[in-house]
Structure 1
Amino acid sequence: MDSVSASQTTSSALQVQLIAAIARRTQGNEDRQTAVPNLSFFRREQGTEPCACMVEPSVVLVVQGAKQMLVGDQSYPYDASHFLLNSVDLPASSQVLDASVEQPCLGLVLRLDLRIMAELIAQGGLAAPQNKGHHHGMALGTITPELHAAFGRLLSLLDEPEHIAILSPLIQREIHYRLLMSDQAARLWQTLATGSYSQRIARAIDWLKSHYTEPLRIDELAARIQMSPSSLHHHFRQLTAMSPLQYVKWLRLNEARRLMLNERMDAATAAFRVGYESPSQFSREYGRLFGLPPKRDISQLLQTGT
């Protein structure tokens, strides 16, 4: 057996182990946090329409079935042979493409700690990739047997909970290292580079997430991250597929939707809570994003049990 065939055989065996580990810990259609910090599972038993979500810096594996993530006009379809990598907090839409009761779509999400990657680069003397990364915040990478094996070891800790506290940080550190050795290394280096455009936009995103209820002043935000307003707009859109103002609107409208759905807050109160001064403007922008005015949308969500 040649090295390529051996590698494929190894990956197939590891994938079978991951499928079994996730399948016996999930049921129906659910997202489930695990006892391992930063690690969660998902399971879907039928295809879905695109569903709005905020994607944290993370790596996502589908071990069975297929999904896609939609960001602006970009689509990122992935299956068991590719991982989805996200380097900044990114508004997106997630869609399950291939799933059934007999063969559900199964996968995992590991939230990344970019500080760990920065430490690995600094302490390990890792050489910077020769090719330059793209500016988008999301990308698809090729899963290697080494990455598969590291995730297999991480999931095996769920059968040995007494070892999670000690071994989980070590295995997660290895996964971060394997990603730095993957075909998406250049993208990660670009995000981590101090003073890079990606790193500055990440700082702007962190600020917006904490201050989205306040009026957005582009000049002040640009000065905060030491960029010109035009450069901020350009690089923000490259990374997130939206402008800073669109990003803030997305944060406000999704938080308002959560308040109305989970805390039974009326539309006008939710609008003011997230920073809108005009309920009519809130209703218009809500309808453009979610397809229905607030009251009808929440009523429909409650009826379907979403």
Structure 2
Amino acid sequence: MDTDSLAPLRDAIARLWQAHGRETPVEGLYLTAVSAPTGPIHAVYRPSLCVVVQGAKISMLGDRAFCYDAGKCLIASMEVPIRAEITEATPERPYLAFSLALEPATITDLLCEMGAAADIPPGPALAVHRLGAELQEPLLRLLQLCERPRDVAILVPLIRREITWRLLQGPMGPALRQIGLAGSPAARIGRAIAQIRDSFAEQLQIARLAEVAAMSPATFHRHFKAVTAMTPVQYQKQLRLQEARRLLLSDAADVARVGYAIGYESPSQFSREYRRMFGAPPGRDRVAIRKGLAPQTGA
């Protein structure tokens, strides 16, 4: 893609960042502007479209790397913990991107109109594609609406629906179908993921998760790894440790108490696994983040 065609999107993001920062007047639309490469960023991606218009980023889902730079999109089709890094950014050419939450109800509605079948095999929860010209125009209009707040309530739903329709009609359609088809294997894995998220501090019960997904334990395990690039145990561990980091930063609780709160019975195991994920033991990591020496959790 000719990066000059991205200039209107870049200009819109730069203006909005100056006016609003990360959060925009459009619900679910978030901006990112970073002037230097980052270290590891740990976050949970929810169903969303991320568009990079300058710079580059890499997101790791389990051991799978998804690289995307200017003119590329990343689709997250369900809630997954990731590790990411912004790899290209300078003060002169900062990393500029925006993400838009995807609405399952809208996707389902449009799929019903399309008559799409529900037998799509599950694929990875992340996918990267090039931003097509047919998507640039409605995305730009959505960004421009942030500067016309009186129009937001009326026009945003229409433009979001148009964007979703364009996505479903293009190469990102299969990833979106995983969000909108309630009976698909990926959607059933999504229900099991929600179960893990809602009770991540409890002992994992594979048989119960397989029941939620309406699969045999063996089929569930295979489909879960196809979607998340992790086993259920690995997925739960990442959620637990990201929640531990949030708790450490949000209050003055001691490390052992945070470990117990997220389901660890052994403080030494909690400290060991926390260090393996974040590069420092919990207490030292909390101090480093508060001093601005370590990357914070965030998208």
Q: State whether TM-score is above 0.5.
A: yes
Structure-1 residue corresponding to 2:274: 286
Structure-1 residue corresponding to 2:217: 229
Please tell me whether the aligned partners of residues 122 and 185 of structure 2 are also in contact (alpha carbons under 8 angstroms): no
- Write the deviation string for residues 162-221 of structure 1: whole angstroms up to 9, x where unpaired: 110111111111111111011121232244333322111111111111111222111111
| Structure 2 counterpart of 1:148, one-letter code | Q
Please tell me whether the aligned partners of residues 32 and 96 of structure 2 are also in contact (alpha carbons under 8 angstroms): yes
Structure-2 residue corresponding to 1:275: 263
Match 1:125 to one of 114, 127, 136: 114
Structure-2 residue corresponding to 1:48: 38
| Structure 1 counterpart of 2:167, one-letter code | L
Shift of the 221–49 alpha-carbon distance from structure 1 to 2, 3 Å rule, reads same
Please tell me whether the aligned partners of residues 129 and 185 of structure 1 are also in contact (alpha carbons under 8 angstroms): no
Alignment of 1:88 with 2:78, yes or no, is yes
Which has the bigger relative contact order, CA under 8 A and spacing at least 6?
Answer: 2
| Structure 1 counterpart of 2:40, one-letter code | P
Alignment of 1:160 with 2:142, yes or no, is no
Structure-2 residue corresponding to 1:203: 191
Deviation at 1:134, TM superposition (A): 6.1
Matched pairs, number: 293
Please tell me whether the aligned partners of residues 141 and 182 of structure 1 are also in contact (alpha carbons under 8 angstroms): no
Q: Distance in 2 between matches of 1:220 and 1:245?
A: 14
Deviation at 1:227, TM superposition (A): 1.1
Alignment of 1:102 with 2:92, yes or no, is yes
| Structure 2 counterpart of 1:114, one-letter code | P
Shift of the 31–284 alpha-carbon distance from structure 1 to 2, 3 Å rule, reads farther
- Write the deviation string for residues 50-76 of structure 1: whole angstroms up to 9, x where unpaired: 311111110000111111211122211
Deviation at 1:255, TM superposition (A): 0.8
| Structure 2 counterpart of 1:239, one-letter code | V
Please tell me whether the aligned partners of residues 36 and 89 of structure 2 are also in contact (alpha carbons under 8 angstroms): yes
- Write the deviation string for residues 224-282 of structure 1: whole angstroms up to 9, x where unpaired: 22111122211111111111111111111111111111212211111111122222221
Deviation at 1:288, TM superposition (A): 1.8
Structure-2 residue corresponding to 1:34: 24
- Write the deviation string for residues 103-129 of structure 1: whole angstroms up to 9, x where unpaired: 11101000111221110111x235569
Match 2:60 to one of 66, 70, 87: 70
Shift of the 81–176 alpha-carbon distance from structure 1 to 2, 3 Å rule, reads same
Please tell me whether the aligned partners of residues 129 and 186 of structure 1 are also in contact (alpha carbons under 8 angstroms): no
Please tell me whether the aligned partners of residues 46 and 100 of structure 1 are also in contact (alpha carbons under 8 angstroms): yes
TM-score by length of 2: 0.91
Please tell me whether the aligned partners of residues 142 and 182 of structure 1 are also in contact (alpha carbons under 8 angstroms): no
Q: Distance in 2 between matches of 1:115 and 1:168?
A: 15
Q: Distance in 1 between matches of 2:4 and 2:136?
A: 9
- Unpaired runs of 5+ residues, structure 1, are 1-7
Please give the secondary structure, in 1, of the residue aligned with 2:97: strand
Structure-2 residue corresponding to 1:20: 11
Alignment of 1:177 with 2:168, yes or no, is no
- Unpaired runs of 5+ residues, structure 2, are none
Please give the secondary structure, in 1, of the residue aligned with 2:81: strand
| Structure 1 counterpart of 2:196, one-letter code | L
Deviation at 1:133, TM superposition (A): 6.4
